[in-house]
Structure 1
Amino acid sequence: MTTQDDAKKLRWYNLALMVFVMVWGFGNVVNNYANQGLTVIVSWILIISLYFVPYVLMVGEMGSTFQEGKAGVSTWVASTMGPLLAYLAGWTYWVVHVPYLAQKPQQILIALGWSVYQNGTFIKTFTPMVLQLTTLVLFLFFMWIASRGITSLKRIGMVAGTSMLVMSFMYVLLMLAAPSLRGVSIATTDLSLHTFIPNFDFTYFTTISMLVFAVGGCEKISPYVRNTFNASKEFPRAMIIMAVLVALSALLGSLAMGMMFDSNNIPKDLKMNGPYYAFKLLGEYYGVGNLFLVLYAITNFLTHTSALIFSIDAPLKVLLAETDSKYIPNALSKTNEYGAPINGYKMTAVLVGIIIIIPALGIGNMNDLYNWLLDLNSIVMPLRYLWVFAAYIAVRRLIGQFSSDYKFVENSFAAKTIGLWCFLFTAFACIMGMFPKGVQLYTSQWYFQLTLNLLTPFVLLGLGLILPSIAKWSNRKDSNTISN
């Protein structure tokens, strides 16, 4: 008999849709097509089968193992490797959002420009430094909104995110049908084998971090395990369904992009403006003008705005609330009248401001600046996935200490081997992603971008290593002040 409490719990289909919206977006298709053209179809098959599916099934097993965990990956790491490494995992999950926050204002301005002018000229009117100063002002404005506890934009973002999901699948279906329904010519006319088979050289391997970035993040759903009906069975099932949806979207979406944009002559600004070009052309194919473009631009504007507000607030609160206080200075946990950790916000503002302004000093082209920041996210964001695989390996090493109704692989040695493969592949992808793309080799800009790509992850993660020492000193100082 189903109780009232069971009726309120999430089912596998609820979770599958939630995590799909969290993980996937139309931009993942566009960005990787821009990097690889139609060869990305083979890349998607390889990355999904050899990396994404094991990753998803590991998350399913970890969710089944730690059904009562409230902090997701931090709970997994704390339970298997102790509080210090749990703090470092929590720090990593927060700090990798800094480059993400630095790019969101850019994406908001681009969406706003396409909404109003219905072309990509608005963003090109800025010089890189003026643009970055504008994005910094915009970021500080939204940080002020977040600091006042305004949550309505987060709810709007959920609606916009679901709308974005619908529009993404609409694009794929309408584009695939366009040649037969509307007599549209396929842009990629060379459909020989070399159009689809990647050239596995150095340049290719510098692009795989974007693929890893695209398929990662399903562990973000893990705090909802305890709210899932029959979690040991339905949580893994939701992960599998989500993986199928991602695979379909990636493969069919890339094929649709190849039909619209010549795989051998990809526009240089496809990463920045590609989704807008796509919906603009789709509207022309079906005789509705810029209707699809405007709907997409408005939806994207609301999605990015909400994501910025949420990503300023939520990851920081998780870090401060769920980390042992001896690793975090008490001052960072100070809240204002709206419950926002105001000093933590200030630390965020400083780090984001540095990443917004410094690149503009050496990257003199708006398109290159956008692409660099996107590539930086593909280097830094996957670092958080390393903790998922480390925790999984630790669980399978501690035989008998943890039990789960669902196991991805029964044999512990095989399970640890797969976990190690995913860990090493993620690290390899991040390292290769540090080499600049789309920039002439060994020029001053190439060296400038490479230096930033190398320094940024080390500085961001390094701050997490020194923060416990600062906490020890400042917290002792606060204790002495109180006692006196």
Structure 2
Amino acid sequence: MRVDKTVFIYENYIYSERGESKMNDSQKMKWYTLAFMCFSTLWGFGNVLNGFMYFNGIQVIFSWILMFVLYFVPYALMVGELGSAFKNSGGGVSSWIHETTGPKAAYYAGWTYWACHITYIASKGSGGLKALSWMIFQNSETYASFNTKAVQFATLAVLLLFSYVASRGLNPLKKMATIAGSSMFVMSILYIVMMFAAPAINPNGGYLAMDFSFKNLIPTFDWKYFSSLSILVFAVGGCEKISPYVNKVEDPSRGFPKSMIFAAIMVIICAIFGTIAMGMMFDPAVIDANFDSYNANGSYWAFQRLGEYYGMGNVLMIVYAACNCIGQFSTLVISIDAPLRMLLDNEDARQYIPSKLLRKNDAGAYSNGIIMVDILAGAIILAQALVPNADTVLRQLTQLNSVTMPMRYLWVFFAYVMLRKKTDIFHRDYKFVKNNTVAIVFGAWCFVLTAACCLLGMYKAGDMYTTILNIITPVVLTALGLILPAIKKKEAKN
């Protein structure tokens, strides 16, 4: 996942809590400003790599185009309408659900948003250690050779260390996370530009030829294909973070859809050209035969080879690994702190949460909440100590995140359907489509597609351990979200 996403979430949270506007009402941003804002927070190098690996090389181009046309564009435009309808609500999706449905549903939306970050938190330590290994040893073999149990205990230690940092109410790495996230975005664009220029600069680089025939670009629609679609949903989701800015665009009814469509076009171009750049480097057949290794090391190999094409050695790879390492660890702190505050600071959600979780320490942090994060994320980390290979752990975490993280998008589409069912109650300057029935169909379509991709992504043929982990994790997190209101109710009686 892109390291800048949670930073963006956190900054929006601070912005909402302070009740400050980033610009005066008389100032309006240009539509292309919002388009670039959306693009930079949405897209990252990992999206290109994951798409290429999971969808057989350049065949993913077909799937990218379908995903953007049938999912991302309507998703972004629906978010724009929700943001326009609830422009004074600072709680994001939870506020939308509260306004359209009620406080209990708003609690579940907030809980889902927080619970999804548990798997994300579990993956940040592993990703940071992997990046650190590449920085120091500059190869893939060293990290893979480490004992898995030792790696997972080290990952748990990293989680506890940064939990302590978060518990002291400190966030010293926030600015570093922002810088690292921006650097990762720049490097993903730089990779595409440099890779396309490489054959002219170094004609004998040993680039692979690609078959762009229609037959070769159409994927095989088998179980492997459909069970991997959650990877693409995971890649393009999260544009609800731009909802606070819909009314800051000049002429929202025209400017906002224009900015979203332009952002989608930019992402499609990057996805296609990034995929072609990958195809010049990597053979899909080789990736398939060594999938776990490529999943764990593909991005580092990509920048390592790019440096070789330009006679720069490992310089580009080291820079990329450094940005990734800083981003992973600093985002870990933010991910522990920000989503928890977004849930527990919400007055509508607090009435369903036991008082023990609402306790703050002398630094103003939710100490018991952080302990709950450590227990849940730590359980995932320790469960993977049974996996025979450290690289396999990273593959499992990628697949687990692709199953759990998109579940929060379900509430966006639910909120939109409820908004259109009560369309006469809520005024907004911008509407996705005027026809109410068509709007509800779009909302229902995106809801069903998201749910189907998450459910299909749980089963991994030939890997029962990953399948069990993909099923148990969301079930446990959902059950905990259902139990807490019951505990609060019993607490109130006593």
When normalised by structure 2's length, the TM-score is: 0.90
* Residue aligning to 1:327: 352
Aligned pairs (5 A) from 1:141-220:
141-183=161-203, 184-220=205-241
For each residue in 1:124-151, what CA deviation from the matched residue of structure 2 results, as whole angstroms up to 9, or x when unmatched?
Answer: 1322221111100111101111112222
Aligned pairs (5 A) from 1:237-248:
237-248=258-269
* Residue aligning to 2:67: 47
Pairing 1:376–2:400 present: yes
How far apart in 2 are the matches of 1:88 and 1:11?
A: 35
Aligned pairs (5 A) from 1:97-108:
97-108=117-128
Letter matched to residue 335 of structure 1: K
Deviation at 1:373, TM superposition (A): 1.4
Deviation at 1:325, TM superposition (A): 2.3
Q: Please give the secondary structure, in 2, of the residue aligned with 1:324.
A: helix
Letter matched to residue 295 of structure 1: V
CA contact (8 A) 1:164 1:296 kept: yes
How far apart in 2 are the matches of 1:337 and 1:14?
A: 41
Deviation at 1:473, TM superposition (A): 2.1
* Residue aligning to 1:432: 456
For each residue in 1:268-320, what CA deviation from the matched residue of structure 2 results, as whole angstroms up to 9, or x when unmatched?
Answer: 22221111101010011011111111111111111112211111110000000
* Residue aligning to 2:464: 447
Letter matched to residue 72 of structure 1: G
Cα distance 1:303–1:404, how it changes in 2: closer, same or farther (>3 A)?
same
Deviation at 1:243, TM superposition (A): 2.1
CA contact (8 A) 1:63 1:235 kept: no
Pairing 1:385–2:409 present: yes
How far apart in 2 are the matches of 1:278 and 1:293?
A: 8
How far apart in 2 are the matches of 1:311 and 1:231?
A: 32
Pairing 1:302–2:326 present: yes
Cα distance 1:406–1:364, how it changes in 2: closer, same or farther (>3 A)?
same
Deviation at 1:7, TM superposition (A): 6.9
How far apart in 2 are the matches of 1:54 and 1:341?
A: 37
For each residue in 1:379-401, what CA deviation from the matched residue of structure 2 results, as whole angstroms up to 9, or x when unmatched?
Answer: 00010000011111111111311
Letter matched to residue 289 of structure 1: G
CA contact (8 A) 1:16 1:239 kept: yes
Q: Which moved more, 1:225-234 or 1:103-112?
A: 225-234
Aligned pairs (5 A) from 1:48-447:
48-183=68-203, 184-224=205-245, 234-266=255-287, 267-268=290-291, 269-322=293-346, 323-361=348-386, 363-436=387-460, 441=462, 446-447=463-464
Letter matched to residue 471 of structure 2: L
For each residue in 1:154-180, what CA deviation from the matched residue of structure 2 results, as whole angstroms up to 9, or x when unmatched?
Answer: 111111111111111000011122223
CA contact (8 A) 1:38 1:196 kept: yes
Q: Which moved more, 1:242-251 or 1:11-20?
A: 11-20
CA contact (8 A) 1:89 1:384 kept: yes
How far apart in 2 are the matches of 1:436 and 1:49?
A: 27
Deviation at 1:225, TM superposition (A): 5.1
Give the aligned CA root-mean-square deviation in angstroms. Answer: 2.0
CA contact (8 A) 1:359 1:369 kept: yes
Gaps in structure 2 of 5+ consecutive residues: 1-21
CA contact (8 A) 2:304 2:313 kept: yes
When normalised by structure 1's length, the TM-score is: 0.92
Gaps in structure 1 of 5+ consecutive residues: 478-484
Q: Please give the secondary structure, in 2, of the residue aligned with 1:422.
A: helix
> Which of 44, 51, 57 in structure 2 is aligned with 1:25?
44
Letter matched to residue 53 of structure 2: A
Q: Please give the secondary structure, in 1, of the residue aligned with 2:90.
A: coil
How far apart in 2 are the matches of 1:173 and 1:195?
A: 25
CA contact (8 A) 1:73 1:222 kept: no
Deviation at 1:451, TM superposition (A): 1.8
Q: Please give the secondary structure, in 2, of the residue aligned with 1:199.
A: coil
For each residue in 1:432-475, what CA deviation from the matched residue of structure 2 results, as whole angstroms up to 9, or x when unmatched?
Answer: 101115xxx3xxxx222222211111111111111101112234
CA contact (8 A) 2:80 2:246 kept: no
CA contact (8 A) 2:73 2:260 kept: no
Cα distance 1:325–1:251, how it changes in 2: closer, same or farther (>3 A)?
same
CA contact (8 A) 1:69 1:226 kept: no
CA contact (8 A) 1:320 1:333 kept: yes
Letter matched to residue 369 of structure 2: G
Q: Please give the secondary structure, in 2, of the residue aligned with 1:93.
A: helix
How far apart in 2 are the matches of 1:4 and 1:63?
A: 17
How far apart in 1 are the matches of 2:198 and 2:412?
A: 41
* Residue aligning to 1:458: 475
Deviation at 1:347, TM superposition (A): 0.6
How far apart in 1 are the matches of 2:252 and 2:315?
A: 42
Q: How many residues align?
A: 467
How far apart in 1 are the matches of 2:349 and 2:469?
A: 31
For each residue in 1:224-245, what CA deviation from the matched residue of structure 2 results, as whole angstroms up to 9, or x when unmatched?
Answer: 5576676666554443333222
CA contact (8 A) 2:113 2:339 kept: yes
Deviation at 1:100, TM superposition (A): 0.6
Q: Please give the secondary structure, in 2, of the residue aligned with 1:287.
A: coil
Deviation at 1:359, TM superposition (A): 2.8
Cα distance 1:207–1:470, how it changes in 2: closer, same or farther (>3 A)?
same
